[in-house]
Amino acid sequence: MRINVLQHTPNEGPGAIQSWSNDNGHEMYVYHPAQFNGVLPTADETDMLIILGGPMSPNDNDDWILNERELIKELLSRDTPMFGACFGAQQITKTLGYPVTKGPKEVGWAPVYLQNDVIPNLPDEVTALHWHEETFEIPENAQLLFSSDCLKNQGFVMGHHVIGLQFHFEPLADNVREMVVNDGSYTKGSLLNQTPADILQVKVPSENKQVMYKLLDYISER
């Protein structure tokens, strides 16, 4: 399977998603549309689409953001497996015609709570990394998957092949360090009141990688 990853900023890479791809013998191609003149894969060469986070907003009018949504639209029509994290999840909902709006600013570690059992064997509570201040609406034909203490709409599952999360399960320890050293100033004003040092002191929960694998297993099943 060819997995195409849309990475929007250098310090938010695929992390555990790449581990899952390697462990399952897939081929991963990483695109950087924000840095390389909007280069995107075609729908025909995409067996799974991963849309990662970034500091931009789906409400921005950059050509590559709009073109990315055209790709998402085509892949949704084909029922292609798709996973979006943060900006990526917002792009999916924006493609479907739902607004992305300002929400509570959450930056740091905080629990998320499972809201339904449509995906088997997920834990009821997981401590995840949050790095956002915008939020999406849950699409009408999707189900709420996770909520947090600060924000209800933290994740959704749509059908059997689309998942969007406002937070991050994918970062491994090195990824967290990369996010913090490059974007640590973003912690200011967060409701979680965590400093960059506070975030770095937390060991990435081992179950985050396990949950990420289960989510990818779920959307890749036919």
pLDDT in tens, 82-123: 999 999 999 999 999 999 999 999 999 999 999 999 999 999
Nearest-angstrom CA–CA distance, 184 and 170: 18
Q: Reply yes or no on whether the pLDDT at 218 is more than 90.
A: yes
pTM above 0.95, yes or no: yes
Residue range 127-184, pLDDT digits in tens: 999 999 999 999 999 999 999 999 999 999 999 999 999 999 999 999 999 999 999 9
Cα dihedral 29, 33, 38, 44 in deg (nearest 10):
30
Tokens of 154: 């933290």
